Amino acid sequence: MTSTKQVLALRVIPVLALLVSLTMGAVPHGTIAAQRRRPAVSNQQRVKVSSDLRTEMQRSRSGHEKIATILQLNGPPSKELSALLKRNGVRVKAQFRNFGSLAVELPVSAVEELGSFDEVSFLSKDAKVHAQGHLSLTTGADAVRQQTTTTGAPYVLNGAGVGIAVLDSGVDREHKSIKDNPRVFVSVDFTGEGLTDDPYGHGTHVASVAAGVMNGANNTYEGIATSATLLNLSVLNSQGIGSVSNVLSALDWVMTNRTTYNIRVVNMSLGTRAVTSYLDDPLCKSVRRLVDAGIVVVAAAGNEGKDSDGNEVYGRIHSPGNEPSAITVGASNTLGTDGRSDDTITTYSSRGPTRSYSTDVSGVKHYDNLIKPDLVAPGNKIIHAESDNNAIVTSHPDLSAGFETLPNKRVMYLSGTSVAAPVVAGAAALVLQANPNLTPNMVKMILMYSAQHLAGFNSLQQGAGQLNIEGAVRLAKLVRTDLTGATALGAPLLNGTAPSPSTTIAGYAFPWAGRINMSFAFSSGTNLITKYQRFYGTGLLLSDGIIVGDGIIVGDGIIVGDGTLMSDGIIVGDGIIVGDGIITSDGIIVGDGIIVGDGIIVGDGIIVGDGIIVGDGIIVGDTFQGDDTECME
């Protein structure tokens, strides 16, 4: 297998969702839907320094080289730790007050000493971050705009009043698709360049997908939530590069200002290689804090679904897409048609499972192995706003669609999971406008349950399926608005009867997926939408409450009620497959010739299937050439 240089970076290309195929035959488990998760490793057992940071320590010759780190604390710093942070050669670059963490630059030799303090929870590298595109018709957004109230009056649903924070390379506010939506309330730079107008060109395109007004030839190209409030938070510089600390600063700002601007959705079309377990990854932990505070966080899966030779690769979901509370989005390909009967998964969209890990004091790696992505959305050759004189089109003139010649009206092609993510972010805004009382977990459940499961693709490629905005909004409008944390398990979830679980778009009718991703398995059944489940509240995960350890059911239905089904062949522990020994998903057998992206055989040494090809964890780069298109993450 050809190897390329590894790059630790958050990429400006559609983030790839790497999904490992599992046996998904739904099997009832009595009165409880049982989910399995890997055994927890306590803080005392886990090594507190990330593997990429340890690598830098080993490479250092003098120990005096400076390294940028993210320092996470589990309590106030002691006098001794405060003194270390004030030493010569140590510089605190930023403090993220909402997350109890700091960005610190210090000599490599001081990392081990820093990790010895009890109040230090985890140390990781301040890695580079890179950006990761007929849309309104094929996604069901047009169908939503045609819905009426019970009296027959027009039902206006455009995202008005819902704040979407776009963490990207900036937004060109003079572009027609943005300027004609006057709801860009604030622009803040977190890169240090002092620019928010998108000289790179990625952020404007992403923002216009989520919330741009009609633009381009004959006003053809319209965003999803055309009247949503856009919060333009620049975390990627004029070359499309940022850092973990840039992103943390922006997320910290979102947490502080969420009420002021009614920020209900965050879009992160960016990522970095997911090395550190979501239990320790600073991006993942910050995302969890936002979700617990009531904010839907949408993350691109990554664009590493194939290697440099064009072979399909599993296990390369990017961070923060490896965070279970995030809605992680892969990219589908509509093949340029409005109908959905021919839709596929792009070759470059990252497949699951997540291969981030923690390391215990004995040197054993404990992999997360979460099912990701959660769903997919159109992300191939998407035409939307082109910021003026941007670096992407300057380097790749063929990406300019050429439909418009006037400045601030041009449109461009982009492909990748970073273009698919804002489709879902816009959809979340519409769902929240339809029912503002929904929690992030409810929004995530609704988007997955109403999705279209694409035939011929397994669940580690597509998650629950392809986004269906028409079905999601129709379901969201029926959910009761008086639900609270005190609502009884099994109480009615809807006002009235359950909706018909099918949608017709451009003349093509398809059934809803009718299931949700619970991190290590899928749960299905109408009770997911007819009865209240305790994990629909805040402060929980859809995967919470059921099995911890080696697959033994230890629950009494407190979190998940009766009538739900759980898929077979679930990954438990460190990748061990529970089932009949065959990994399948939707009739697709995953065995011979499967490439796993991080050099570890699926199951951490347990071979599943014959002749599994093990990859080398390479990051392919910022662009991919192949049968889909060049794509930007």
CATH of the domain at 178: 3.40.50.200
Domain match, 88 and 209 both: no
- Residue 169 is predicted with a pLDDT of 96
Judge whether 381 lies within some domain: yes
pLDDT tens sequence across 39-58: 445 555 678 999 989 888 88
Domain match, 318 and 332 both: yes
Quickly list H helices, 60-162: 79-85, 111-115, 135-138, 141-145
**Token pair 């027609």 in the structure block, residue:** 176
Give the domain range for residue 397: 131-473
Whether 231 contacts 164, CB under 8 Å: yes
From 443, 473, 503, the end of a domain falls on 473
Mean pLDDT score of the chain: 79
* 488: Cα separation from own chain's centroid: 30
Domain match, 269 and 324 both: yes
- Under 8 Å CB-to-CB from 435, ≥6 apart: which residues? 476, 477, 479, 481
Judge whether 459 lies within some domain: yes
- Residue 338 is predicted with a pLDDT of 81
Q: Which residue has the higher pLDDT, 415 or 185?
A: 415
Q: What is the CA angle 10-15-21, rounded to 5? A: 125
**What is the separation, in whole angstroms, between the first and last Cα of the chain?**
23
Distance, CA of 138 to CA of 135 (rounded, Å): 6
- Residue 147 is predicted with a pLDDT of 59
- Count CA within 13 A, CB hemisphere, residue 463: 37
From 452, 473, 494, the end of a domain falls on 473
Domain match, 318 and 374 both: yes
Whether 604 contacts 365, CB under 8 Å: yes
Three-state SS at 265: strand
Quickly list H helices, 212-338: 244-257, 282-292
* Helix H or strand E encompassing 474: helix 469-476
- Under 8 Å CB-to-CB from 329, ≥6 apart: which residues? 15, 17, 298, 299, 300, 301, 321, 373, 374, 375, 376, 377, 379, 417, 420, 421, 423, 424
Other CB atoms within 10 A of residue 440 CB: 25
Three-state SS at 406: coil
pLDDT tens sequence across 501-554: 999 988 899 999 999 998 888 888 899 999 999 899 999 898 775 443 333 333
pLDDT at position 587 over 60: no
- Under 8 Å CB-to-CB from 496, ≥6 apart: which residues? 478
Judge whether 222 lies within some domain: yes
Judge whether 572 lies within some domain: no
Query: Residue 450: which of 30, 166, 143, 18 has the closest Cα?
Result: 143
pLDDT at position 580 over 50: no
Q: Read off the pTM.
A: 0.83
**Token pair 């780069």 in the structure block, residue:** 621
**% residues pLDDT > 70 (the chain):** 73
Residue 240 — left, alpha, or beta (φ > 0 → left; ψ -120 to 50 → alpha)?
left
Domain match, 112 and 208 both: no
Judge whether 357 lies within some domain: yes
Domain match, 91 and 140 both: no
pLDDT at position 596 over 90: no
Judge whether 79 lies within some domain: yes
From 90, 108, 127, the end of a domain falls on 127
Rounded alpha-carbon distances, angstroms, from residue 65 to 52, 68, 88: 15, 10, 13
Domain match, 138 and 120 both: no
Judge whether 265 lies within some domain: yes
Distance, CA of 373 to CA of 172 (rounded, Å): 30
Name 494's bridge partners. 479
Helix axes 440-449, 417-434, angle to 10 degrees: 110
Domain match, 327 and 393 both: yes
- Residue 221 is predicted with a pLDDT of 77
- Residue 15 is predicted with a pLDDT of 27
Q: What is the CA angle 183-414-374, rounded to 5? A: 80
Domain match, 145 and 116 both: no
Distance, CA of 617 to CA of 18 (rounded, Å): 12
Three-state SS at 470: helix
Average pLDDT of the segment spanning 66-83: 94
Rounded alpha-carbon distances, angstroms, from residue 253 to 90, 187, 258, 378, 618: 25, 12, 8, 30, 33
- For the chain, the farthest-separated pair of C-alpha atoms sits apart, in whole angstroms, at 75
- Under 8 Å CB-to-CB from 55, ≥6 apart: which residues? none
- What is the CATH classification number for the domain harbouring 68? 3.30.70.80
Distance, CA of 463 to CA of 373 (rounded, Å): 5
Instruction: At 207, give phi and psi (nearest 5°).
Output: -65, -40
- Residue 219 is predicted with a pLDDT of 53
Strand 163-168 with 229-234, pairing:
parallel
Domain count, the chain: 2
- Residue 247 is predicted with a pLDDT of 97
Joined together, the tokens standing for residue 446 give 């609704």
Domain match, 86 and 164 both: no
Domain match, 94 and 150 both: no
Domain match, 110 and 187 both: no
pLDDT at position 572 over 70: no
Judge whether 237 lies within some domain: yes
